[in-house]
Chain A
Amino acid sequence: MKDYSGKILEIDLSHGLIRFKDIEPQLLRQYLGGIGFNARILYEQMPAGADPLGEDNILVFSAGTLVGTPFPTASRTEASAKSPLSGGFGTSNSGAFFGLQLKTAGFDALVIKGKSPDPVYIAINDEDVQILAAGSLWGKECWECVDYLEKKHFGSEIALIGHGGENLLRFASIENGRYDGWGRTGLGAVMGSKNLKAITVKGTKGRKAHDPVALLKAVKDGQQLIKSASSYLAFTEYGTLNASIPYSKFKAISAHNFTKGTLPGWKDIGGRPIVDKYGSRHVACQSCIIACGHWVELTEGKYAGVKVKDLEITPVMSFGATVGLDTEAIIKASELCQRYGVDMVSVGGVLGFAIELYKQGIISKEDIGFELEFGDDEAAFKLLHMIINREGIGDILAEGTKRAAERFAQADRYAIQIKGMEIPMIDPRGRWSTWTLGMLTNLRGGDHLRCRNPVENLRFNERDEEYSKERFGFKQSMYDQLDIPEEVKRKAIDLEQDTTDIPEMSKWAEDLINLYNSVGICIRPPVMEKVGPTIIAEACRAFIGIEFTPADLMESAERTWNLIKLFNLREGEKVEASKFPRRFYEEELDGKVLDEAKVQKVLEKYYQVRGWDSKTGRPEKDTLKRLQLDQLSE
């Protein structure tokens, strides 16, 4: 601990105050870093009922505990604030090199409060922190600003907003350099509301490792573990697109705003072959040995000249499936989202929603100015520009599908969202699994990234009567090597029946991902399959010198999850809000529909597993006491 000299940098934009705070050992021990810090800071320091786009909202960036070490994939920084989209805990995770610079500048967390009267940006160069006038940067797209700021603050990493954040789109993202971003939950709008255009960070310092030899060994062990994962080779080659074709075969992709389940020729639109066709070099985040990103340069066709890091499943599903675009248009769309700073998932959802409203006759050509059709890229991009600039109907759509649906009669059926967040990629009617239940239990709303079975089997797709099991589908050897404590393993996986218990596995998966987001490592499947709390505990000990047991780490992750739940409850989250859109319960997809009562039952079982009241979804007193949250919540 004595070697670990991280600080918290607190900036009050209202008064131009800059403060350096020490990290209390207790905070580090109980919350680790990353999302843990964010949850604690927001819960403690933000007044209840704060306006997400007002002065009281607090925006926090925390690099994970292990960020800056060569531990595989340790690059992630969590950004959090009260979400303008869901009204709850808004949080998003991004990799690349921002976290490394923040840490080498000497900071674990960056807390931004208040609201600047004029557009500004923050320049951090070790302890030299300045609030500078953004001047003509305001109103410029992200890449132009990055070009300018990279020259002016050489060697810095840059977090910034584009038109999306400036125009307070409820699903605006904060971009992380050119090609990465904190996409979900509309954090860009929070930054825009604070009149903060960009943050540049450059660090030239280092930190001592408590035990360098052990750290290097943990790194090597971590690398070997990930390399031995069953999905490793496929991931180094095709990245996240591996899931694309299996989900299309299950008829469970978000095609045409969740009406189709699959699309003809999907393999060549959004499957692995597009990597062979368009991808060139592999691009990694800091310390990553998977390098799932692909560098793409379009040299011919309508969008020749586009250069971008892309071919990930998120844009492919959002634009390829939900909006129905072809591959080159998908690549162009993700470039536009990165230039303007908007969340790809929500943009896809909003575009799909608008196109369906048009086709259903709820909005007309007069409302928009042109015709809309699934797969029409020019119309989609025109509408995207209208949304980004809040022109005409774009002004309504910029509020997200949930709020936009309130403005049109009979429109809420087509708004595919949970708690205001547009649902990405997977249709739970086509595939029911830990992953799809995770959309309901996710504390940030309709989202797929906070609960995924560490050993998801993409060969099987069966739904049991009770909605509480999915096929395990692996051999005993896989079961044996999972880094899950015996008692959890026995409850979550039944080898004889070859099933995984969805509510039990959901809790484990959520806590594991929360742990990853706290220590700053990535949730790609090869990591989730192999890297468990045991090796993370060893890496943490070697680096910061605090002895954690694997159980301590999981408890810390659970504590953070419960604290975020408390935050949401304080902000008025209702238990009824954890509900799929009506379409999933009422309209058949490939002959399948969800039974609301059964979903509810699984959800109640999940609440029980979590130690929450099964009817209200509130954490029970005993649970809070066990997690030492009882005093904080009173």
Chain B
Amino acid sequence: MKRIVVDAEVCTGCGICQLVCSVHKTGQWHPALSRIKIKQMPEFGIKVPVVCMQCSNPPCAVFCVMNLIYKDPDTGYTMRREDKCIGCRACEIACPFSAAIMDPIREVVVNCDLCGGEPVCVAYCPEGALLYMDEAEAGDKRRSRLGLKSGEIFPRGECSGRGS
């Protein structure tokens, strides 16, 4: 299954993803309605996009008192029947990433639905900080990042053994 993979290291915090998400989903530019949020931590120079992780076993679904959150059998995406949502926010509390988001206008909680397979935030991200890819590929990408890091820590010639 493909999902949105966040590469926080290259995120510049421009916030384009938040705005295109809200425009695409609601026709309004309304960062509060966006299903992807950038957490800015200016004192550390850190910016992290937070979006539904598409958990295999989503805690939001467990907590939903109305039983509205389900895994789409075809795509495997975490979906919700928004029309029945009572706005109790239990899912918001349960989500370890705070990626379930209260829509302040309709008063229902929403999460990223990957735009049905063509996530618009990924298409507009100028830095490649948001990627839409297969889980295996995403894991590989993270592993190669780890490889680069270890290369920085142990540059050639400084660690034991030759030609490492």
CB-defined contacts of B22 to chain A, threshold 8 Å: 206
- Determine the chain B residues whose CB is within 8 A of the CB of A69 once the complex forms: 19, 23, 29
Q: Which of chain B's residues 6-23 have a Cβ closer than 8 Å to chain A?
A: 9-10, 12-16, 19-20, 22-23
**Which residue of A280, A289, A295 contacts B16 across the interface (Cβ within 8 Å)?**
A289
Residues of B with C-beta under 8 A to A205: 30, 32
* B58 interfacial contact with A, CB 8 Å: no
Q: Is B26 an interface residue (CB 8 A)?
A: yes
Q: How far is the CA of A104 from the CA of B12 in the complex (A)?
A: 21
B127 CB–A CB distance under 8 Å? yes
Q: Is A100's beta carbon under 8 Å from chain B?
A: yes
- Interchain CB contact under 8 A, A209 and B27: yes
Q: A281 is contacted by which of B9, B120, B126 (Cβ under 8 Å)?
A: B9
In the complex, residue of chain A having the shortest beta-carbon distance to the beta carbon of B15 = A286
In the complex, which residues of chain A have a beta carbon less than 8 angstroms from the beta carbon of B26?
Answer: 206
A350 proximal to B (CB < 8 A)? no
CB distance from A216 to the nearest CB of B (A): 6
Residues from chain A with Cβ under 8 Å of B120 in the complex = 216
Select B29's contact among A68, A204, A280, A281, beta carbons within 8 Å.
Answer: A68
Known: A179-B42, A307-B43. A291 touches B12 (CB 8 A): yes
| CB of A309 closer than 8 Å to a CB of B | yes
Determine the chain B residues whose CB is within 8 A of the CB of A209 once the complex forms.
Answer: 23, 27-29
Q: Which residues of A contact B47 (CB under 8 A)?
A: 283
Residue in B20, B24, B29, B45 whose beta carbon sits within 8 Å of that of A283 in the complex: B45
User: How far, in whole Å, are A212 and B16 apart by their CA atoms in the complex?
Assistant: 15
- Contacts A178-B43, A282-B12, A307-B45 given; indicate if A70 touches B30 (C-beta within 8 A): no
A191-219: contact bitstring with B at CB < 8 Å (1 yes, 0 no)? 00000000000001111110010011001
Q: Is B33 an interface residue (CB 8 A)?
A: yes
- Distance of A305 from chain B, by nearest CB (Å): 13
Specify which of B20, B32, B42, B104 is in contact with A178 (CB 8 Å cutoff).
Answer: B42
Residue among A100, A178, A223, A283 facing the most chain B CB atoms (10 A cut-off): A283
Interface membership of B124, Cβ < 8 A: yes
CB-nearest residue of chain A to B127: A291
In whole angstroms, what is the CA distance A69 to B120 when docked?
A: 15
Say yes or no: is A329 at the interface (Cβ < 8 Å to chain B).
Answer: no
Q: Evaluate whether A289 and B45 lie within 8 angstroms (CB atoms) in the complex, with A68-B29, A209-B28, A223-B124 already known.
A: no
* Binary interface encoding of chain B residues 39-73 relative to chain A, with 1 for a CB under 8 A from any of its CBs, else 0: 01011111100000000000000000000000000
* A212 to B29 alpha-carbon distance, docked (Å): 9
Q: Please state if B14 and A287 are interface contacts (CB–CB under 8 Å).
A: yes
Contact A223/B126 with A70-B23, A97-B15 known, Cβ cut-off 8 Å? yes
For B87, the chain A residues whose CB sits under 8 A away are none
Which chain A positions have C-beta within 8 A of B104? 204
A219/B32 contact (C-beta < 8 A), A209-B27, A283-B45, A284-B12 known: no
Select one of A68, A219, A284 contacting B13, CB under 8 A.
A284
A177 lies within 8 A of B42 (CB): yes
Q: Report how far A70 CA is from B16 CA in the complex, Å.
A: 5
Residue of A nearest to B28 (CB): A206
Residues of A within 8 A of B19 (CB): 68-70, 287
Bound Cα distance A333, B47 (Å): 25
Of B23, B29, B33, most buried by chain A (CB within 10 Å of CB) is: B29
Q: How many interface residues does A have (CB within 8 Å)?
A: 40
Contact call B14/A212, Cβ cutoff below 8 A: no
Q: How far is the CA of A104 from the CA of B104 in the complex (A)?
A: 13
Let me know if A291 and B14 touch, CB within 8 A. yes
User: Chain B contacts of A104 at CB under 8 A?
Assistant: 30-32
Chain A 61-75 interface mask (CB, 8 Å, partner B; 1/0): 000000011101000
From residue A540, how far is it (CB to closest CB) to chain B in Å? Answer: 14
Q: Nearest-CB distance from A277 to chain B (Å)? A: 15
Q: B110-130: contact bitstring with A at CB < 8 Å (1 yes, 0 no)? A: 000000000010001011000
A287: which B residues are within 8 A, CB to CB?
Answer: 14-16, 19
Q: A216, B24: Cβ atoms under 8 Å?
A: yes
Complex interface: chain A residues within 8 A of B20 (CB): 70, 216, 219
A145 in the interface (beta carbon within 8 A): no
Contact check: which of B30, B42, B44, B127 meets A207 at CB < 8 Å? B30
- Distance of A285 Cα from B14 Cα, bound (Å): 5
Assembled-state Cα–Cα distance A309/B43 (Å): 10
Q: Residues of A contacting B9 with CB < 8 Å?
A: 281
Q: Are A281 and B28 in contact (CB under 8 A)?
A: no
Closest Cβ neighbor of A208 among chain B residues: B28
A281, B12: Cβ atoms closer than 8 Å: yes
CB distance from A66 to the nearest CB of B (A): 10
| Any B CB within 8 A of the CB of A220 | yes
Chain B residues contacting A212 (CB-CB under 8 Å) are 23-24, 27-28
Q: In chain A, what residue has the closest Cβ to B24?
A: A216
Q: Can you name the residue of chain A whose Cβ is closest to the Cβ of B46?
A: A281
- What residues of A have a CB within 8 angstroms of the CB of B40 in the complex? 97
* Residues in A4-23 with C-beta less than 8 Å from chain B: none
The reply to whether B33 and A206 form a contact with Cβ atoms under 8 Å apart is: yes
Known A-B contacts A69-B29, A206-B28, A223-B124; the reply to A286 vs B23 at CB < 8 A is: no
A269-290 interface with B by 8 A CB criterion:
280-289
Nearest-neighbour CB distance to chain B for A274, whole angstroms, equals: 17
Q: Are B13 and A283 in contact (CB under 8 A)?
A: yes
In the bound complex, CA of A216 to CA of B17 (Å): 12
Complex CA gap A205/B32 in Å reads: 7
Cα–Cα, bound, A204→B28 (Å): 12
How far does the alpha carbon of A307 sit from the alpha carbon of B40 in the complex, in Å? 15
Measured CA separation A576–B121 after assembly (Å): 53
Chain A: CB-nearest residue to B30:
A206
CA distance A72 to B32 in the complex (A): 20
Q: How far is the CB of B40 from chain A (nearest CB, A)?
A: 8
For the complex, what is the distance from the CA of A297 to the CA of B16, rounded to whole Å? 26
> Within 8 Å CB of A216, what residues of B?
20, 23-24, 120
Interface string of A203-241 (1 = CB under 8 A from B): 011111100100110011001000100000000000000
- Render A55-97 as a binary contact track against B, CB cut-off 8 A, 1 for contact: 0000000000000111010000000000000000000000001
How long is the Cα–Cα vector from A208 to B29 in the complex, in angstroms?
A: 6
Please give the distance in Å from A299's CB to the nearest CB on chain B. Answer: 13
Pick 9 A–B contacts, CB within 8 A, sort by A: A68-B29, A206-B28, A206-B33, A209-B27, A216-B20, A281-B12, A282-B127, A287-B19, A289-B127
Binding site for B on A (CB under 8 A): 68-70, 72, 97, 100, 104, 147, 177-179, 204-209, 212, 215-216, 219-220, 223, 227, 280-289, 291, 295, 297, 307, 309, 543
Known: A147-B43, A216-B120. 5 other contacts (CB 8 A): A72-B16, A104-B32, A283-B13, A288-B12, A307-B45
Nearest 10 interchain pairs by C-beta = A206-B30, A289-B126, A284-B12, A295-B45, A284-B14, A291-B12, A70-B19, A206-B28, A212-B27, A70-B16
